[in-house]
Structure 1
Amino acid sequence: MSSVQNQNVKASLNEREGFQVWWRLLRPHTLTAAFVPVFVGTMLAAVEDSINFWLFAAMLLASILIQAATNMFNEYYDFVRGLDNENSVGIGGTIVRDGVRPRTVLTLALSFFFIAGVLGVYICLASSWWVAVIGLVSMLFGYLYTGGPYPIAYTPFGEITAGLFMGTIIIAISYFIQQLTLSWHVILISIPVAIFVGAILLANNIRDRVGDKENGRRTLAILFGHKGSIRFLTILAVIAYALTLAFILTGLLPYWSLITFLSIHKARQAIQGFKGKSAPLEMMPAMKFTAQTNTFYGFLLGLSLLLQVYIPLG
């Protein structure tokens, strides 16, 4: 690709130089998937007792670093396997469009993992060393998502893996390090968040479906097709909101949690944004709305728990 063509692609994607290059590498729109579970898990603990702010901060930073490192591994290994090029949409583009050395991206990813590991030691010292076992497994799956001989991202199991590790497990750890115990109600409440985290990946795979199929991937979006994937995304949203209502009616969540339904607007925008679209660039807004659904739902859920602490509704 010529320099002029490369600049045209960067302009169409609204990509800028300088600091923005490194910011894009982090794929910031995905980082809320790291913030939301930590916030929700910590607020679940706050309902029952006071929380340790420093443990919350350490867990939050470690989670964000692991997510960012996973994104970098994705960028590196997709480039190595020849899946990304200058026209690829939805990637950081630091290697194929900005000329950052692949080795630099890999080194940054490993550095982020190392810092997350150091934070993990502090968390374990303040809670339990069982957290280290779960944390190491989570980091391993973060690497195996696009690394290793059989990347999870190339299979139909990407969404469930992302939802489990970036949703349920992070919520459970965030709660456990505050309370030093874990109950089934925490696991149940984590399910809608896990669904919305998995939906972010599904939306990404819907956008990349054609190119992924050409490169031999077997994602859910490829198996379901474009229309089938949109229907599945709709079903996931319905299940998440139905579970939330069931948890409120059964007392697992407070009545304040009804405010989470304010996020339905974003879910609807995400679903509508995919309909009738075929080009990856056309589906970028739908991707954004899917990530925003997770952000708004998770933030409102955590806020509802915090409100229950100070303004109980029964």
Structure 2
Amino acid sequence: MMGIYRNWFLASRPWSFTMTAISVSVGSALAAIDGPFDWPLALLALLSAILLHAATNLINDYYDVVNGVDTVQAATAQYRPHPLVEGLLPREHVRLVAYGLFILAALIGIYLTLVCGVVVLIIGLVGLLAGLTYTAPPLKYKYVALGEVSVFLMWGPLMVEGAYFVQRQSLSISAFWVSLPFGVLVALVLLANNIRDIDHDHRRGIRTLAILLGHRLGLNTYLSLMVLAYAGILVLALTGVLTMWVLIIFASFPLAVKLLRQMKRAVPANADALTAKLDTAFGLLLVVSLIIEGLVG
């Protein structure tokens, strides 16, 4: 019985939820700086976002397997557990559980809409549509080089602004600007994955941004966007959008340099996981800087 629970747990890719937790925490922390803070609403927003993320992971894997993209030969299945590829979970059960999680996320979203306002509904519907059609028909936009754009928008502006709105019942231009660097880094997780999988994905007949750019230009884009994310933090500090506390994020810069050197030498099999590790360090430092700003100004 424990093995079944473990398979479901791993299939949801729980290690990726840190990115969702960080995006929601950034929006919530910015809202706390601007006024009173409601913990129950913040936790509901976080729970809804994580349920939506888990549902998206499951439905993504389901259609990747059905469409022949994820196989036992895929690099993803070589370095991380992939219960669906390994035949440890029935495909149809994965699809149904994914839809169930989408429904649970939607129910929380409806409650937050009633309490906080219609903007929550709009953001939630966009997120729901993005998650449902990532690899599923009719859009299947992951297969037409739009995955990185979607990830940037979801984990950047939409998730951060959504968490902010739940607290303040208004949107914030500052939250928008603050969301951009972290959104870029989350998108780089997918770009790293797709650079590694260029040959495999090409054989499977799908088009990713990495395939359109090619290996060399894809790596240069990865490098440039990572530098841009850190430059964005510097701009936020110098323009007064955030206080100088945000510069503690540069404590993670040596990790970024190490990762870029690795990627230039040879794209590692766990390139996406290594990028996610950097994202976590960057994002946690961002959240810490916002907490400090809220406490001491």
Same fold flag (TM > 0.5): yes
CA contact (8 A) 1:40 1:299 kept: no
**Aligned-pair CA distance for 1:243:** 1.1
Aligned partner of 1:21: which letter? N
2:44 corresponds to which residue?
58
Q: CA deviation at 1:124?
A: 1.4
**More divergent stretch after superposition (71-80 vs 17-26):** 17-26
The one-character-per-residue Cα deviations of 1:160-214 (angstroms, maximum 9, x if unpaired) are 1111012210100101111111122211111101101111111111121111111
Shift of 1:48: 1.2
Partners of 1:271 and 1:111 in 2: CA distance: 39
Instruction: Answer whether contact 2:164 2:172 (CA < 8 A) is retained.
Output: no
User: In 1, Cα distance between the equivalents of 2:71 and 2:139?
Assistant: 21
Structure 1 residue 122, shift from structure 2 partner? 2.0
Q: Which is further off, 67-76 or 263-272?
A: 263-272
Q: Secondary structure of 2:206's match?
A: coil
Aligned partner of 1:29 in structure 2 is 15
The residue number in structure 2 matching 1:168 is: 157
Contact preservation (8 Å) 1:269, 1:289: no
- Which whole-Å CA distance do the structure 1 matches of 2:3 and 2:74 have between them? 18
AA aligned opposite 1:147: A
Partner residue of 1:71?
A: 57
1:307 and 2:296 correspond = no
Alignment partners' CA distance in 2, 1:211 and 1:28:
25
SS at match of 1:283: coil
Q: Secondary structure at the match of 1:275?
A: helix
Alignment size in residue pairs = 293
Q: Which among 245, 248, 258 is matched to residue 256 of structure 1? A: 245
In 1, Cα distance between equivalents of 2:126 and 2:272: 28
CA contact (8 A) 1:266 1:292 kept: no
Residue-by-residue CA offset, 1:262-295 (whole Å, 9 max, x unaligned): 12233223323323336xxx421x3222102221
Report SS of the residue matched to 1:150: coil
Tell me how far apart the structure 2 counterparts of residues 307 and 289 of structure 1 sit (CA, whole Å): 27
Q: One-letter code of the match for 1:80?
A: V
Match of 1:270 in 2: 259
Q: Distance in 2 between matches of 1:105 and 1:212?
A: 23
Question: Residues 34 and 67 of structure 1 are in contact (CA less than 8 Å); yes or no, is this contact kept in structure 2?
Answer: yes
The whole-number CA distance in structure 2 between the counterparts of 1:166 and 1:257 is 19
Determine the structure 2 residue equivalent to 1:292: 277
How much identity, in percent, do the aligned residues show? 34
- Written as runs of structure 1 = structure 2, the 5 A alignment for 1:165-244 is 165-244=154-233
The Cα RMSD (Å) is 1.7
**Structure 1 portions without partners, runs of 5+:** 1-15
What stretches of structure 2 of length at least 5 have no aligned partner? none
Deviation at 1:72, TM superposition (A): 0.6
8 Å contact 2:75–2:269 — kept in the other structure? no
Q: Return the alpha-carbon distance in structure 1 between the equivalents of residues 173 and 126 of structure 2.
A: 21
DSSP 3-state at the match of 1:120: helix
* Corresponding residue number in structure 2 for 1:11: none
- Deviations 1:219-254, CA, capped at 9 Å, x for gaps: 111122223222111100111111110110111011
Q: TM-score, normalised by structure 2?
A: 0.93
Deviation at 1:159?
A: 0.5
1:175 partner SS: helix
Residue 124 (str. 1) matches residue 110 (str. 2): no
Structure 2 Cα separation of the partners of residues 90 and 265 of structure 1: 26
> Given residue 242 of structure 1, which amino acid in structure 2 is its aligned partner?
A
Structure 1 stretch 141-150 or stretch 84-93: which is displaced more? 84-93
CA contact (8 A) 2:11 2:84 kept: no
Q: Where in structure 2 are the equivalents of 1:141-156 lying within 5 Å?
A: 141-156=130-145
